[in-house]
Structure 1
Amino acid sequence: MIAPVLPPFLDLGGTAVFALSGALLAARLNQTFVTCAFFALLTGVGGGSVRDALLGVPAFWLRDFYVAPVILITALIAWFIPRKWWQGRDSWLEWADAMGLALFSTLGVAKALAFDVAPLAAIILGVVTGCVGGIVRDVIAGVPSILMRPELYVTAAALASSLCGVMLLLGMQQAWAMAIAALAGFTLRGAAMVWRIELPAYSKEASS
């Protein structure tokens, strides 16, 4: 299996939407532009950097001339977006995060499989790629992490990663496998935001 290669516009587009979610969070918290840019960088490359560290390869963005400029431009755009455009629960922040989550989950599992990682471990790395940047962003910002809420988030990443992994292992063309899986993950995450779909929480009464 060859390493996944996304079209440049799609690869950088995925990085940009994830970076946008980080930059908008900083803006929502009334932070400086420096913090806005830092959150954009952290969210845009965080998950992929952890994945690459676990794979023992250089972080993907260190050798890509365009990633850092795209993140900086994204932070600038977010900085000048009027607040009224993105305020609200189902705002640009949530939808940008959902797009990045789905896309990078599929990219993560595809790259892991290309490095001969075991299938289940590759799927887990896909989830890590999609989720870690946003989780670390929330922790540093001091806001409740999506990981600690019952709303479907990691589940959407797991769906995208699992579907992509299975289809790649069955021999489907990489581009189609990633596109279908990313769409499925994004659809589930979007449905969770619109209709408040949640996983049941642990209950002592139910377990006794």
Structure 2
Amino acid sequence: MVGCEGESQPGGSFHFIRGTNMYSYDGDDFLAFDDKNEVWIAAVGPAVETGRKWNSIPVLTEYTKGYLENECMAWMIKYWSYGREQLQQASPPEVHLFSQRSHVDTKVFLTCLSTGFYPEDVTLQIKRNGRILTAEDGLETSGIRPNEDDTFQRRDRVEILETDVSTYTCEVIQPNEPFQGSNKPMLATPTHPLIGWGFIGVKMGDHDS
């Protein structure tokens, strides 16, 4: 396993913090490179001799350290910029509130679907008269699932009486990101005519807001 860790600096540059170059054998750690001290360290007894040989080859140590601090960092910055670009171009998610017939004649499933969001770190809440519904209320969730376009979706639902006239709100909260477009709440009415005064709200912002 090879990897590196860096910290972003003012002006867009990155500062190398640490690197990882590890080898395993039969599923267990075998040998690892300590980039700070520029030495190979054996994780198990049988790796001691290999570590001794590798440490006796200065060009191997120099190459490994140079790769972690340069090539690895270059690749990390490249992929980080790709992700950042996708994040900057991301739009607020689509959110839909609708109802479907239940197997019980007097009940319906009220479903909130949020799709097209990126990254996947979102909070989706269905509220009844301002109170967040939980599994104890019968709330079911699909969890976060991927879309074909690298965005994500989530679907939550709760079974309610068809005659329920409570106010139902679906709220999607996403950490502040440089979205293109408005961050104002969007409202829509549910598609089932027998649910009274239900509406949907989309909230973009910090989890604590």
Please give the TM-score of this superposition, normalised by the length of structure 2: 0.28
Higher relative contact order (CA 8 A, sep 6+): 1
Larger radius of gyration: 2
Q: Which has the higher helix share?
A: 1
Q: Which has the higher strand share?
A: 2
Please give the TM-score of this superposition, normalised by the length of structure 1: 0.28
